[in-house]
C-alpha cells in the first residue's frame, strides 16, 4: 500500500488503547502529541546547549530510532535492504510525519535521497536553516543497519539539503557513507 492509498480509516483501524491506557498503533506504543512539542524541545535544547549540541542530540536520537526500526524489522519479519527502507518511509508517513518520497535508494553504496512534504520543519519556518535533524539521523540509521547486516565497513551520515524551515518547498535528506 502506498501513502497515496492510505486513508484515515486505515490508520484508525490500527489504533487501540490497551488496559493500562497506552495508545497502540498496531503493537507499537505511541504518544499522540502536537508537532509544536518538537519545536519547543528543539528550541529549548538550542537555548541550553546551542545549535551544534541540538543537532547532535536530535540527529543521534533519529539515528538510533532508524537503526532500531530496521533491526526489529529484520528480526520480526526477515526484512532487509530495500523492503525495510520502504516500510520505514511508509510507516513514517502513516504516523503523520509528512509525506515521504524515495528519490534515490542504493543499498549497495548505501545511499538514499528522501523528500519529505509537510515535515515537522514547518513548525520551524523562518529559521533560515535546515532543522529536521531527526530525519538526517533516521535515514542514516536505517542505511547503517543495512550496511552492518551485510558486513560492509562503512559509516553512514545524513544531511539535509533542503528544508521548509529555510524557505524550501519541502525537506530533502541525503544519507551516504562519509
Q: 55 with 91, same domain? A: yes
- Confirm whether pTM is higher than 0.85: yes
Whether the CB-CB separation of 124 and 42 falls below 8 Å is answered with yes
pLDDT per position as a tens digit, 15-57: 999 999 999 988 889 888 888 998 999 999 999 999 999 999 9
Q: 23 with 50, same domain? A: no
4-8, 139-143, 172-176: least confident range? 4-8
Query: What is the tally of structural domains in the chain?
Result: 2
pLDDT per position as a tens digit, 136-146: 999 999 999 99
Within 8 A by CB and 6+ apart from 162, the residues are: 115, 130, 168, 169, 170, 171, 172
Q: 86 with 166, same domain? A: yes
Question: Domain limits at 47?
Answer: 36-177
For residue 17, list its beta bridge partners.
23
Residue 98 backbone class (left: φ over 0; alpha: ψ -120 to 50; beta: rest): left
**CA-to-CA distance for 90 and 88, rounded, in angstroms?**
5
Q: 25 with 46, same domain? A: no
- Domain of 75, CATH number, reads 3.30.1380.20
Amino acid at each position: 500500500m502506498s501513502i497515496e492509498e492510505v486513508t484515515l480509516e486505515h490508520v484508525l483501524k490500527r489504533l487501540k488503547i490497551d488496559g493500562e491506557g497506552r495508545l497502540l498503533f498496531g503493537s507499537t506504543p505511541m504518544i499522540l502529541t502536537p508537532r509544536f512539542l518538537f519545536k519547543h524541545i528543539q528550541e529549548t535544547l538550542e537555548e541550553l546547549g546551542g545549535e551544534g549540541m541540538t543537532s547532535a542530540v536530535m540527529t543521534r536520537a533519529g539515528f538510533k530510532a532508524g537503526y532500531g526500526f530496521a533491526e526489529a524489522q529484520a528480526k520480526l519479519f526477515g526484512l532487509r535492504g530495500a523492503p525495510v527502507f520502504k516500510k520505514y518511509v511508509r510507516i513514517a508517513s502513516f504516523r503523520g510525519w509528512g509525506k515521504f518520497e524515495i528519490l534515490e535508494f542504493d543499498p549497495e553504496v548505501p545511499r538514499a535521497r528522501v523528500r519529505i512534504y509537510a515535515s515537522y520543519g514547518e513548525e520551524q519556518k523562518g529559521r533560515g536553516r535546515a532543522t529536521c535533524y531527526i530525519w538526517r539521523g533516521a535515514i542514516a540509521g536505517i542505511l547503517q543497519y543495512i550496511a552492518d547486516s551485510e558486513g560492509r565497513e562503512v559509516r553512514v551520515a545524513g544531511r539535509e539539503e533542503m528544508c521548509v524551515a529555510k524557505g524550501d518547498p519541502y525537506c530533502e535528506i541525503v544519507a551516504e557513507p562519509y
